[in-house]
Amino acid sequence: MLEVEDLRSGYGRNEIVRGVSLVAQEASITAIIGPNGAGKSTLVQTIAGVLPAWGGEVGLGGQSLTRRSARERAMRGLGYTPQLRNVFAVLSVEENLDVVAHSMKLPPERTQEVFDLFPILYERRRQRAGTLSGGQRQQLAIASALLMRPRILVLDEPTTGLAPQVVDSLIEQILAIKADGSGVVWVVEEHPNSILPLCDRVYLMESGGIQHQATGPALLADPNFAEMFLGATVPQS
């Protein structure tokens, strides 16, 4: 279980994440949604250790990660895929994976595991990452994180800007990751109608805090969902 309690962070003197608490289980999908500027990306960057926390706690499996670096968090089972700048564009697909495997001292069979999950990456293993399609780059970014066999994988808007058929394929692969036992924390910006029915828990974030939570199907059945997702007045839970 990923446990986040009263987490705060930001940039300079500007506090963006204001006392967020949430949980995410292994073998489940937890979504974070909200309007632009709500602080979603800042939140997951802080959870992953890319940004320092100003206060609060991040724990995984009962162990505190709050004072651990991003690398140490990855080694303890917390994977993270940022939305942008998530691959080495000048390196080939295989070289991108080799960089992670070598730096983390992982066995060679890990690379084959992610090639099995993303066959297109094996087909294009010698192609430069910068020449891949948007969907293929996202698959490579996720594959790089999966090399560590994370207990929880944090994805920051992985489907944004992708064509619908590419989104469907990526969703199937993320469901396979869940079925294999990893938990997924998914920042959802686009395609909520396709993604939220698959989510065991959804947190609505607004103005740096969690304003509402529900299961994905329950949220979609809520007549006020459009208002909540667009950042209008949020009904009390």
Mean pLDDT, residues 196-220: 93
pLDDT tens readout for residues 80-133: 999 888 899 999 999 999 999 998 999 989 999 999 999 999 999 999 999 999
Q: Is the separation of the CB atoms in 53 and 126 below 8 Å?
A: no
Is 234 inside any structural domain? Answer: no
- Domain enclosing residue 146, as ranges: 2-229
The CATH number for 92's domain is 3.40.50.300
In a domain, 37, yes or no: yes
236 within domain boundaries: no
Count the domains in the chain.
Answer: 1
Q: Is the pTM of this model over 0.85?
A: yes
What's the pLDDT score for residue 163?
86
How high does pLDDT run on average in the chain? 91
SS3 131: helix
User: How far is the C-alpha of 116 from the C-alpha of 177, rounded, in Å?
Assistant: 12
How high is the pLDDT of residue 85?
83
103: three-class secondary structure by DSSP: helix
The answer to whether residue 237 sits within a structural domain is no
63-64 and 55-60 strand pairing: antiparallel
**What average pLDDT does range 138-150 have in this prediction?**
94
Percent of the chain having pLDDT more than 90? 79
Does residue 235 lie in a domain region? no
H helical segments located in 13-159:
40-48, 70-75, 93-103, 109-117, 119-123, 134-146
